Amino acid sequence: MSLPCTAKAGKQPPKEIIAYQLHGNCYLNITWHCTLRCAFCPKYHGEWVVQGYDLRLLREPEVDEIIRAIGDPTAYKQIVFCGLGEPTLRLDTLLEVARQLKTTQPSTQIRINTDGLANLVYGEDVTPRLAGLIDELSVSMNAQNEALYIQHCRPKREGAFEAMLDFAALANKHVSTLNLTAIEGLEGVDIVACEKLCQQRGLNFRRRVLDIVG
Ligand code: SF4
């Protein structure tokens, strides 16, 4: 059964949290599958509770369940696809949810927090499909070079670091806001170097804090 986005952190963790509240936003947890196996990811340390929410799913929710779990989208600053899995691995479902939200409430602001590997996974440029449906992307860059990226993110596919940067450059044409992000304090990660690499590619950068969903 889907749960309302009004689930509050710190209470008895309900089962199958599809939607959860943080920072005045409604976050959507639609899959546990990932293209990365990040060494810093809580789920790879047996921990599925993030900021008071148990994000373990027993199955992937359908479009209507996700819409029901959101409730009233006007109650939130943003609807954010971000759980303990990569949301673009369910791109069709994600975009259909976004389409329905934009149709019923065009002012709804929608963001995806992503690993930026959708083009690598699907073998084509999917970024034009985001146009008009997704307002903002937060792309996990996580390192200033491929060696460090592999060390921390342990991608399942080759060429992931460059693919992520290429995705960001392409997607930047189709959304209003795109930020690449890296986590402050990860071994060897140079936040200034990450920012510089983004600047060289004409992309925005934002630093993140480990275990804080943003
Ligand atoms: S992309 Fe996110 S959910 Fe997936 S392994 Fe990395 S930190 Fe965990």
C-beta of 36 in contact with ligand 1 (< 6 A): yes
- What pLDDT is recorded for position 208? 86
Is 149 a domain residue?
yes
Residue 10 lies in a domain: no
Q: Is residue 155 within 8 Å of residue 118, measured between CB atoms? A: no
Q: What is the dihedral of CA 71, 101, 33, 167, to 10 degrees?
A: -150
Model pTM score:
0.92
| Structural domain contains residue 7 | no
Structural domain includes residue 1: no
Domain encompassing residue 134: 19-209
Whether residue 70 has its Cβ less than 6 Å from ligand 1: no
Q: How far is the CA of 115 from the centre of ligand 1 (A)?
A: 8
Atom of ligand 1 nearest to the CA of 153: 6
Task: List, for residues 174-183, the tens digit of each pLDDT value.
Answer: 999 999 999 9
- d(C-alpha 70, C-alpha 67), whole Å: 5
Q: So what's the pLDDT on residue 211?
A: 62
Q: Mean pLDDT, to the nearest integer, of 3-31?
A: 76
pLDDT-based confidence at residue 80 (cuts at 50, 70, 90): very high
The total domain count for the chain is: 1
Any domain includes 57: yes
pLDDT band at 213 (very low <50, low <70, confident <90, very high): low
Please indicate whether residue 34, judged by its CB atom, sits closer than 6 Å to ligand 1: yes
Report which ligand 1 atom has the smallest distance to the Cα of 85. 3
Instruction: Check pocket membership of 83 for ligand 1, CB cut-off 6 A.
Output: no
Contact 94, 137 (CB under 8 A): no
- The mean pLDDT of the chain is 92
| pLDDT confidence band for 38 (50 / 70 / 90) | very high
How far is the C-alpha of 55 from the C-alpha of 51, rounded, in Å? 10
Ligand 1: centre distance to CA 32 (Å): 9
Q: Is residue 13 part of a domain?
A: no
Q: How far is the CA of 174 from the centre of ligand 1 (A)?
A: 24
**Residue 150 domain flag:** yes
